Amino acid sequence: MSTDPHVVDCGTPAVRLTVDAGVAELRLDRPRVNAIDAEVVEGLRRAADWLSTAEEAAAVVLTGGDRVFAAGADIKQMAGLDHAAAVGWSGRLQSTFAMLAGLPQPVVAAVAGYALGGGCELALCADVRFAAEDAVLGQPEILLGVIPGAGGTQRLSRLVGPSRAKELVLTGRQVPAPEALAIGLVDRVLPAGEVLAAAHEWARQFVGGPRLALRAAKEAVDQGLEVALPVALEIERQQFAALFATEDRTRGMQSFLERGPGKAEFRGR
C-alpha cells in the first residue's frame, strides 16, 4: 500500500478526495455551506466509484470541513424541479448515497457545524459519526413541504429507532450534538478543533488490516439488517466460511498461534 499522498480527480473542486498513508479523506468544499447540488452529487459518485475498488484506501474519513459539514440540498436548484425532474434527481441522489454507504472500507464521518437535510443523510451513510460539540444535525425537509429523499426516513430509523426518527422527521427540529449522542445518532462528541483529527486516528487503525474480513463484516451487518434473523445468520455463516479461502485468514491464525493476538501482518488477500 502506497504511503505517498494521492489526489483523486472527482470532476469538480466541490468534492476533494485525497489518500495519505492508507487513509482517504473525502471532503465537501462548496462554500459557504456545502450545499448539495447536482455537481456535488456527481463528484461524490465519482469518489465512491473510485473508492469501491481502491486497495490503497484502508478507511475513509468523510468531512465537510471545520465549520460546516453540509447544510442540506441546494434549495434554489430543487425549487425549479417538477415531478418528473424530482424523480430523476432523487434517484441519482439515492443511488450515489447508496454507493457511499456500501463502500467496502470502514467510513467515519467527521461532523462539524450543521449537518441538515441531505447533509445529515450523507453522514448517515458512514459507519460511525464523530461530531464536534457545536454540531447540529436534523432532517428539516418537512418545513419545506417535502420529506427526506436520500435515505433520511430509512437510515435514520434503523439507527435511532422508528419512534425517534418519526419525531425528528415530522417536526424537522434540529438536534444538538449532546442529544445526538444520547439517541445514537452520533457515536462520539469532541471539541470542535479535535473532531477531524479524531476521525483520522480512528481510520488509521485499519491501515494494514484484513481488508477482506473488514468488508465481509460490513456486508454481514448491513445485509443482515434487511432480512429476517435466520436469513441474516446464514449471510454471516457464508461470509465467515468464505474468509477461510483468504491468505489473511491463514496469516492471522498462524500469527496468533506463534506470537499471540494482534501481531499479524495482513496482505489484503
Residue 121: predicted pLDDT: 97
Tell me which residue of 111, 7, 117 sits closest to 56, measured CA to CA.
7
Tell me which residue of 105, 13, 28 sits closest to 62, measured CA to CA.
28
Contacts of 59 (CB under 8 A, 6+ apart): 22, 23, 24, 105, 106, 107, 108, 202, 203, 204, 205, 206, 207
Cis bond upstream, residue 27 (ω within 30)? no
Residue 252: predicted pLDDT: 92
Tell me which residue of 34, 68, 63 sits closest to 136, measured CA to CA.
68
Is 118 an annotated catalytic residue? yes
Contacts of 120 (CB under 8 A, 6+ apart): 137, 138, 139, 152, 156
Is 145 an annotated catalytic residue? no
Q: Are the C-beta atoms of residues 44 and 103 closer than 8 Å to each other? A: no
Residue 198: predicted pLDDT: 97
Q: Per-residue pLDDT tens for 111-125?
A: 999 999 999 999 999
More confident residue, 24 or 75: 24
- The Cα–Cα gap between 121 and 139 comes to 8
Q: Is 191 exposed, middle or buried (0-12, 13-18, 19+ CB in 10 A)?
A: exposed
Is 121 an annotated catalytic residue? yes
1 pLDDT tier (thresholds 50, 70, 90): very low
- The Cα–Cα gap between 78 and 24 comes to 30
DSSP string of 86-148? HHHHHHHHHHHHHHHHT-SS-EEEEE-SEEETHHHHHHHTSSEEEEETT-EEE-GGGGGT---
- What is the number of residues in the chain? 269
Residue 204: predicted pLDDT: 97
Mean pLDDT of 54-77: 92
> Exactly one of 141, 151, 199, 220 is catalytic; which is it?
141
Mean pLDDT of 219-238: 96
Residue 3: predicted pLDDT: 53
- For residue 66, pLDDT beyond 90: no
> Exactly one of 54, 57, 70, 73 is catalytic; which is it?
73
Q: Are the C-beta atoms of residues 105 and 57 closer than 8 Å to each other? A: yes
- The Cα–Cα gap between 242 and 234 comes to 12
Contacts of 92 (CB under 8 A, 6+ apart): 38, 41, 45
Ordered by where they begin, the domains of the chain are 6-204 (3.90.226.10), 211-259 (1.10.12.10)
Is 42 an annotated catalytic residue? no
Q: Per-residue pLDDT tens for 91-140?
A: 999 999 999 999 999 999 999 999 999 999 999 999 999 999 999 999 99
> Exactly one of 43, 71, 121, 209 is catalytic; which is it?
121
Q: Per-residue pLDDT tens for 143-202?
A: 999 999 999 999 999 999 999 999 999 999 999 999 999 999 999 999 999 999 999 999
> Exactly one of 22, 43, 113, 118 is catalytic; which is it?
118
Residue 5: predicted pLDDT: 86
Q: Are the C-beta atoms of residues 213 and 248 closer than 8 Å to each other? A: yes
Mean pLDDT of 39-50: 97
Q: Per-residue pLDDT tens for 233-267?
A: 999 999 999 999 999 999 999 999 999 988 889 99
Q: Per-residue pLDDT tens for 200-209?
A: 999 999 999 9
76 pLDDT tier (thresholds 50, 70, 90): confident
Cα atoms in the Cβ-side hemisphere of radius 13 Å centred on 212:
18
Reduced to 3 states (helix: H, G, I; strand: E, B; else coil), residue 8 is strand
Stated as kind and residue range, the H or E segment containing 52 is none
